[in-house]
Amino acid sequence: MVDNIKNDCAYLVVGGDSLVGEGLLYALEERGHRAYSTTRRIDTLNSRRVKLDFERFEEFIPPSDVDLIFVVAAATNYERCEKDPLAHKINVELIPRFVEAQLQHGLFVVFISTNSVFGGERPWPAEDDPHSPGIPYALQKSEAEAAMRASAVKLGAENRLAIVRLTKILDPNTSPLPNWFSAWSKGEVIEPFEDLIFAPMSVQYVGRALSILGEKRISGNLHLSGADNVSYVKFAQSLSNAVSASSALIAPTSSIQKGINIAFKPTYSGLGMARTTNLSGVLPQTLESVISDLLAARQFK
C-alpha cells in the first residue's frame, strides 16, 4: 500500500456513463479532483470525455495528467455474458489486456468487480477469500481478476493494482424502484420477492467510497458492501416507512411463486469489509443510509 494521499493528479473513469461511473465522477469532482471519463458515444466527446471502445482495437493513451484509472466498464448483462462470446472476450481478455498496458505505463489501476465471484453461499466473505463463481458473469469477473493479478506480479506492480468488489448498487432509477414509487403514488400494491436477498448500497456511497480508496492508493483486494443482507420484502418495508406509504401496499411474494428464473440468487449477498475498513476507514453502508441517499437523489430527479 502507498500511504501518501495524492491530490495533484487527475483520475480517469473508464465507463463514465455507467451507473457506478456517473456516481464516481460526481464524487471525484465534488472532492475537488480533476476527472476524465471514457465513452463509446462519439457525439458526446469533449476535453473531459475521451473515446474508448474495447470492442474495437485501438491504442489508448490516457490524458497525460492522469495517474489513476478506475476500470468500471464491463459487459455486465448476465444473459449476454452467458450467450455472447464477445462479452466473454471483453471481460476476460480485452479488459485485462488494457489493465496490463496501463500498469506497464506506471499508472495505478482500480478494477471494479462483484460480490458474485463468491457464489453467494458463504456469509460475509473476506477480501482475500477464495472464489466460487456460479454464473458466467461471475466466472468472467473472477478470471479477469486472476489475469490482472498475474500481470501485476509479472510487472512488479502489485502495489499499483486494486480490485474492488461491490454488492448491489441502487439509485432511484434502478429496477424495481420506479415501479414501486409509481404504484405507491397511485395507492397500488407492490409485490416484492422474499426469496431474493441483497446487501444494497447507494450510488452516492459507492462514489464517495471509491474516491477515498483511490485517493489513498490502497492496493490489493477491497470490498464495498451494504451492512445488511435483506430480502426485497424487508427493503420495501423500510422504504415504505421512509416515504410514509402504507404497509398494506406491500404484498410479499417470491420469484418461485411468480415463475421467474433469477440467474443470481444468493443466500448471502453482503461482503466482509474488515481489511477495507482497516486501511481506509470506510464502513459498510447501513440500510437507513441507503434509503436516505435514495430519497435525497429522488428530490433532484
Ligand X SMILES: NC(=O)c1ccc[n+]([C@@H]2O[C@H](COP(=O)([O-])OP(=O)(O)OC[C@H]3O[C@@H](n4cnc5c(N)ncnc54)[C@H](OP(=O)(O)O)[C@@H]3O)[C@@H](O)[C@H]2O)c1
d(CA 191, CA 110): 38
Q: Which residue type occupies 99?
A: V
Least CB distance to ligand X at residue 75 (A):
5
Least CB distance to ligand X at residue 269 (A):
10
Q: How many CA atoms lie within 13 A of 188 on its CB side?
A: 10
Residue with smaller CB distance to ligand X, 220 or 226: 226
Is residue 140 within a helix (H) or strand (E), and if so which, with residue range?
helix 136-155
Least CB distance to ligand X at residue 293 (A):
14
The residue whose grid cell reads 471494479 is: 112
Residue with smaller CB distance to ligand X, 115 or 245: 115
Residue with smaller CB distance to ligand X, 160 or 223: 223
Least CB distance to ligand X at residue 188 (A):
26
Closest CA to 66 of 86, 27, 36, 24: 36
What residue number has its CB nearest to ligand X? 18
Judged by the rule CB under 6 A, the positions of this chain that interact with ligand X are: 15, 17-21, 39-41, 52-55, 72-76, 90, 112, 114, 166, 168-169
- Three-state DSSP at 79 gives helix
Residue with smaller CB distance to ligand X, 19 or 155: 19
Residue with smaller CB distance to ligand X, 99 or 112: 112
Least CB distance to ligand X at residue 3 (A):
27
Give the start-end residues of each E strand in 15-86: 35-39, 49-51, 66-71
- Three-state DSSP at 120 gives coil
Instruction: List % helix, strand, coil for the chain (3-state, nearest 5).
Output: 45, 15, 40
